[in-house]
C-alpha cells in the first residue's frame, strides 16, 4: 500500500516534518506500506503559479499525482493564527476536486502551545470532510512541550493503527464512483423518514 505524507513545515529541520515521519513509521509498524513525503515548502512557488496560470509545474504535478494515487495520507501542518497554514490550504486547493474522495486521512498539527490543539477539530477535520476524505478518529497535535513527554507516543500509535486499518479495508474494496452514486440515490429522504414515524391513526 502507498502512504503519502504531506508536510507543510517551513523550517529545516522541522517539527512538522518530524511528526509526519513518526506517524509514518508507526503506520509502517502496523501495515506494510511504501512511504513518500511531499514537502510543501519546496512547492510553494509552483503552487502560487498554479493559481495564476492554471497549470502545475513538474514537481507540483508529481505531488498531486502521488496524493491522488495514495492508499492513505498523513497531513501535517504548523498552526498559524489558530488554523492551518496558508501553504497547506493552498496545496489542497489546487488538487482535483475528487482527489481525496473516499481516501483515508490522518490529520496532525504542530504548534507552540497546547491551547491550539483544537485546530484539529475546528479547522483540519472540517476541511477534509468537505473534500470527502475518510478522516481517522484520532488526530495528533504536538505542542512544544509534548516532545519527549508522556502521551504523544500513545496518540501517534493509536492514530497510526486507525489509518493502517482504514487503508487495508479501503484499498481493497473501494466502491467505484458510479456505484456510490447509485447508493446515494437509494437513500430515503429525511421527510419520508419523518412521515413513517408519524402516527397513522
pLDDT at 173: 39
Helix 15-30 and helix 152-173, axial crossing angle in degrees, nearest 10: 60
For the question of whether the overall pTM of this predicted structure is more than 0.85, the answer is no
Phi, psi of 79 (to 5 degrees): -90, 125
pLDDT tens-digit profile of 124-176? 999 999 999 999 999 999 998 888 777 899 999 999 999 999 999 854 334 43
Amino acid at each position: 500500500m502507498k502512504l503519502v505524507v504531506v508536510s507543510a513545515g517551513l523550517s529545516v529541520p522541522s517539527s512538522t516534518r518530524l511528526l509526519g515521519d513518526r506517524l509514518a513509521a508507526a503506520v509502517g509498524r502496523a501495515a506494510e506500506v511504501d512511504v513518500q513525503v511531499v514537502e510543501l515548502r519546496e512547492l510553494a512557488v509552483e503552487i502560487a503559479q498554479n493559481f495564476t496560470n492554471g497549470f502545475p509545474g513538474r514537481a507540483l504535478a508529481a505531488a498531486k499525482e502521488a496524493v491522488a494515487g495514495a492508499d492513505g495520507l498523513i497531513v501535517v501542518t504548523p498552526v498559524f493564527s489558530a488554523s492551518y497554514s496558508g501553504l497547506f490550504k493552498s496545496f489542497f486547493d489546487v488538487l482535483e476536486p475528487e482527489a481525496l474522495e473516499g481516501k483515508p486521512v490522518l490529520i496532525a498539527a504542530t504548534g507552540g502551545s497546547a491551547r491550539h490543539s483544537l485546530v484539529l477539530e475546528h479547522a483540519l477535520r472540517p476541511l477534509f470532510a468537505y473534500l470527502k476524505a475518510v478522516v481517522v478518529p484520532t488526530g495528533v497535535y504536538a505542542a512544544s512541550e509534548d516532545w519527549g513527554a508522556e502521551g504523544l507516543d500513545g496518540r501517534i500509535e493509536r492514530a497510526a493503527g486507525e489509518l493502517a486499518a482504514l487503508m487495508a479495508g479501503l484499498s481493497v474494496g473501494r466502491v467505484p464512483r458510479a456505484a456510490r452514486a447509485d447508493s446515494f440515490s437509494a437513500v430515503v429522504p429525511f421527510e419520508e423518514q419523518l412521515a413513517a414515524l408519524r402516527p397513522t391513526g
